[in-house]
Amino acid sequence: MKKNLILLLIISAFIACKSKNSSTDKDSIINNTYSNRQSAELIQKFKPIIQGVWVKKDYIDKVVATKSPMTAADLASGLTTMYIETDSLKGDSMKVDAGWNNHEGSDLTLKFKPGKTSETILLGDFDLGYSIKNGDTSIVLYGYDKEKNEHTTTRYVKAFNKQKDLGDGMGYLINKGLIAGTYKMTDSIGKSSTVTFTAFGKVIGFENLKTYSIQNDLGGEPMNNLDNIMFDMDLKTRKDFTFKFNADTLNFYNTKANADSSELLVDKLKYKLVRQK
């Protein structure tokens, strides 16, 4: 009798455990199915919107307003550019190329999982959302600054759909906002010519130079204290000038080092360029 009772208890415990495991398995399947369906919906919602090269909006706005990347350097902080290539999506996640402080590169993991709200997904430690206003789309990152103990909201504007190098979008928007256009150029001996700068970094009619780049990596190194434009940067023909805008006039100056070579000083005016209407 005692043996039968023990056997009955063992069988009852086994049935209860099996029933519990079965219930847990069912819950897990339901949760996974819901999670997969949720990710699929988020992919469908976000994927067509977020493809492209995105650049920190407040920084670009200040560069254009002040005509000076140096003046806007205080906003060249944190995540300043990113490239979201949605064709690289695997399952519900993908890697995103990220540029920090206009200097370092890394990558972040983008997950099509809900952020803190139903309108955001996960990008590294950020929540990523977007807004569309008057036909213009911007990406919005919501984060938290531990040093300042405050929540942050950062907007990004789209430069273009694809890129080759991480700095392409930043360079394009700076070029477009500052210098792209056609100018009448006069050199220091009074010789005039017509020069055209494209937003993609090409220059036409400026001596035999082919490319230009406006420096935006301003990390505080010695002799990195002036707005700088570089021509044919990686070639023997390279030339560098500091530049200043005065309304529609763009002036290129030679530079020289100060006494201890810690800073550059503005030297003689080399070229005067007047934008053509």
Q: What is the pLDDT of residues 78-135, one digit of tens each?
A: 999 999 999 999 999 999 999 999 999 999 999 999 999 889 999 999 999 999 999 8
Residue 70 sits in a domain whose CATH number is 2.40.128
Specify if 41 maps to a domain. Answer: no
Domain that holds residue 222: 179-275
Residues with Cβ < 8 Å from 4, sequence gap 6 or more? none
Show which of 153, 170, 187 is a domain's final residue. Answer: 170
Secondary structure (3-state) at 101: coil
pLDDT of residue 221: 81
Q: Are residues 80 and 121 in the same domain?
A: yes
Q: Are residues 230 and 265 in the same domain?
A: yes
Specify if 30 maps to a domain. Answer: no
In this predicted structure, the answer to whether residue 220 has a pLDDT above a threshold of 80 is no
Specify if 5 maps to a domain. Answer: no
| Per-residue confidence band for 2, with pLDDT thresholds at 50, 70 and 90 | low
pLDDT of residue 30: 43
Specify if 3 maps to a domain. Answer: no
pLDDT of residue 222: 87
| Per-residue confidence band for 151, with pLDDT thresholds at 50, 70 and 90 | very high
Q: Are residues 56 and 146 in the same domain?
A: yes
CA angle 193-196-201, nearest 5°?
140
Residues with Cβ < 8 Å from 231, sequence gap 6 or more? 203, 206, 209, 211, 212, 237, 238, 239, 240
Scanning the structure block, which residue is given the tokens 């529609």?
248
Q: Are residues 125 and 161 in the same domain?
A: yes
Q: Are residues 58 and 153 in the same domain?
A: yes
% of the chain with per-residue pLDDT over 70: 87
Total domains in the chain come to 2
Specify if 157 maps to a domain. Answer: yes
Whether the Cβ atoms of residue 166 and residue 99 lie closer than 8 Å to each other: yes
Specify if 141 maps to a domain. Answer: yes
Specify if 198 maps to a domain. Answer: yes
Tens of pLDDT, residues 10-50: 555 555 555 555 555 555 544 456 568 999 999 999 999 99
Q: Are residues 71 and 161 in the same domain?
A: yes
Q: Are residues 72 and 165 in the same domain?
A: yes
Whether the Cβ atoms of residue 80 and residue 100 lie closer than 8 Å to each other: yes
Nearest to 206 by CA among 171, 232, 177: 232
Q: Are residues 68 and 135 in the same domain?
A: yes
Mean pLDDT of the region 209-237: 92
Secondary structure (3-state) at 237: coil
Q: Are residues 161 and 119 in the same domain?
A: yes
Q: State the Cα–Cα distance between residues 254 and 156, nearest whole angstrom.
A: 34
Specify if 250 maps to a domain. Answer: yes
Q: Which long-range contacts (CB under 8 A, 24 or more apart) does 48-51 make?
A: 49/130, 49/132, 49/137, 50/84, 50/86, 50/128, 50/130, 50/139, 51/84, 51/85, 51/86, 51/161
Please state, rounded to an integer, the average pLDDT across all residues of the chain: 90
Q: Are residues 184 and 87 in the same domain?
A: no
pLDDT of residue 274: 98
Q: Are residues 186 and 164 in the same domain?
A: no
Q: Are residues 156 and 102 in the same domain?
A: yes
